[in-house]
Every structure is written in C-alpha cells, then in structure tokens.
Amino acid sequence: MPYVNIRVAGALNKEQKARICRGVTDVIAEVANKPKDSILIFIDELPHENIAKGGELLQKPADKK
C-alpha cells in the first residue's frame, strides 16, 4: 500500500487538496502500477514559522517585503 506524505507551508483550501490528491494518486497508480484505492495521502499544513530555509524562518507571503 503506497503512502505519501505532503507537507506544505501554510494552508490549502479543500479544492486544492482534492486536486493534489487526484494528481498524485493518478501518477502513482500509473507509474507504480498500483490500484488507486490502495494509495494513502496525508497532507500536513505547517505554520510558516515552523519551517526554515537557509537558516531563516519562513514568513507568511503577505508579510514579505
């Protein structure tokens, strides 16, 4: 049973999550030849301040200068 964990900075709306899940499921099913109903996807939405890049904490897009 394939399982995928997707982590994003900030929040996604329900439609964005649905589209991501459909697309990822389609690719895994096609490439790995796995049945779609066996593919589990977990989406973790993380606050920007819990992620760092280059040693600096991320800022929310609206907060960038």
Cα dist. 52→8, 13, 60, 61 in Å? 12, 23, 12, 14
The separation between CA 33 and the C-alpha centre of its own chain, rounded to angstroms, equals 22
Active-site amino acid positions: 2
Query: Is residue 55 within a helix (H) or strand (E), and if so which, with residue range?
Result: none
